[in-house]
Amino acid sequence: MNFSEVFKQSNQLCKVSPDGKYLATCVQYRLVVRDFNSLQIAHLYTCLDPVMHMEWSSDSLFILCAMYKRGLVQVWSLEQPDWHCKIDEGSIGLVSSRWSPDGRHVLNTTEFNLRVTVWSLCTKAVSYIKYPKACQKGVDFTADGRYMALAERRECKDYISVFVCDDWHLLRHFESETQDLAGLEWSPNCCVLAVWDNCLEYKLLLYSLDGRLLSSYSAYEWSLGIKSVAWSPSSQFLAVGSYDEKVRILNHITWKKITEFEHPATIINTKAVVFKEVEKRPVVGSEDLSIHQLTVDNSLFSTQSKYEITQLPAQVPVIKPDPDRANPKIGISALAFSADNRFLATKNDNMPQSLWVWDMQRLSLLAVLEQTAPVRCFVWDPRRPRLALCTGNTKVYLWSPAGCVSVNVPVEGSFQVLSLFWHCSGSSLVLLSKEHICLCYVEAEEEK
């Protein structure tokens, strides 16, 4: 595994272009576009204010930089570096900004979610969408980029609008049977929209593309409900994570639960493997502690770690959540399917140091990774069944069905990996610390 040198970034803004050729990072008010393979700076743009949000267009030709404080959005072109576009929302303010799937429209959400303005880069047309709902996930585009679903709230009722992204024509507008819609997500095959209620009521609704209610699912009443939802890439399964520390898998034929995955504090399932991260501190003799060594050789302070397999039954460390706080830290907050549909990774908030990997073919627990610090971020390789995770220390961890490995980021000073993502080819990882990024080139084969 090779590591590149370190580059600066601010606000964790670092994105790879959809075609994988460029890497864009924001450093305060500068936008730096590098060629991904050589890491040479290809373009440099200057915005009017520190950038809060940056996004590539789907065809990798344009980059959007949003500055919420000033209510500005600037769009830059890669083909024509001197092309410029500035969208000023004025006194109405700006809360979020995103591309449309065709890469030619910018959707701005104004402050207080008053409306969504659709700016076109092709024509002078401007569209407005009223009463958008401010919730966990109120807007979603289909994978083929043809339709957009938007959650609306009018007169204390939830509605869903489906727009055709071609010309922003309102295809369907129907009332949603939720009490307080928290999020919606299209299935990867673009035909089913999953809509879920907020945590006070466990309710998951499935609407067809034409607005018909296909099915409704509710596992239990009264206790806190759904925390996270994820579609499998083949649209076969819908994983629903809830506050009762369980993940329920629904199937796409009957929309009924086929199984539920529990996250118990004691693991007795003999088919599962529990990997525990064990830190080993290097032994330091007193003669070695010279100033020179301390400054140059940072391996003195960085601890090596490796994975050990724990005997079953194994105990998973649990942290009890504060009962007096809202949105308690309990329940399944993150779910991710692997690209080949075979694995599901979950994180239970009251076991923050553990990551659970489930085998979707056998519908059972495959592995549990127990880290020394709470897991901050985990992402699947877009090509292979390989999972990368980080816990905020100087290491990056990789799991694959063959085993798992922990790698120290060999950067001078310490590089605390706060988040990471894969390049679309799956051959490299981009690691982000508070103010820097580092690329990690990963080989196809993994060793234990």
Partner 1 sequence: MSPSRLYTASVMPPLPLSSFNVSSNFCTEENISECILYINQELSSLCFPPIFQNSDSIRDLDAVVALNNIHDLLQLHRRAVGMMEELEVEQLKSSSDLHYQHLTNSRLKDQLELSKKENMRLHERERQLETNLKTLQNCLKDTKEEVQRLQGIIASRAIQYNHDIKRREREHNRVKERLNQLLIAKKENKQGMEVLNYVGRSDGRRCLWKTGKTESRHEGDMYKTLLSEFDNRQRELMVENIELKKVLQQMKREMVGVLNSKKMSQKEEKQSNDMDQTNSDDDELLKGHPEMSCDHAREKLTNSIRQQWRKLKHHVERLDSQASMVQDEDSEEVISKQLHEEEMERLKLEIQQCKEFIETQQQLLQQQLNTPCDEETAAVLNDSYMLEEKERLKEEWKVFEEQRKNFEMERRNFTEAAIRLGHERKCFEDDRAMWLKHQFLNTPFADQMKPQSRMADEFSKHSGREEKLISISGKVSKSHL
For binding to partner 1 (CB under 8 A), which residues are involved? 57-59, 61, 71, 75, 77, 82-93, 102-104, 111-112, 117, 119, 121-126, 146-147, 164, 166-167, 169, 171, 189-191, 199-200, 208-210, 222-224, 253, 323-328
Q: How far apart are CA 196 and CA 178, in angstroms?
A: 7
CB of 189 to partner 1, least distance (A): 6
CB of 76 to partner 1, least distance (A): 11
Q: Between residues 126 and 296, which has the closer beta carbon with respect to partner 1?
A: 126
Q: How far apart are CA 271 and CA 264, in angstroms?
A: 15
Q: How far apart are CA 437 and CA 430, in angstroms?
A: 7
3-state secondary structure 275-312: EEEEEECCCCCHHHCCHHHHHHCHHHCCCEEEEEEECC
Q: Between residues 154 and 271, which has the closer beta carbon with respect to partner 1?
A: 154
Q: Encoding tokens for residue 390? A: 């980080």
Q: Between residues 20 and 328, which has the closer beta carbon with respect to partner 1?
A: 328
CB of 382 to partner 1, least distance (A): 22
Q: Between residues 103 and 401, which has the closer beta carbon with respect to partner 1?
A: 103
Q: How far apart are CA 309 and CA 174, in angstroms?
A: 52
Q: What is the DSSP letter of 89?
A: -
CB of 144 to partner 1, least distance (A): 9
Q: Between residues 179 and 427, which has the closer beta carbon with respect to partner 1?
A: 179
CB of 254 to partner 1, least distance (A): 12
**Are 448 and 402 contacting, i.e. CB atoms less than 8 angstroms apart?**
yes
Q: Between residues 122 and 268, which has the closer beta carbon with respect to partner 1?
A: 122
DSSP secondary structure, 343-409, as one string? EEEEEETTSTTEEEEEETTTTEEEEEEE-SS---EEEE-SSSS-EEEE-SSSEEEEEETTEEEEEE-
CB of 436 to partner 1, least distance (A): 33
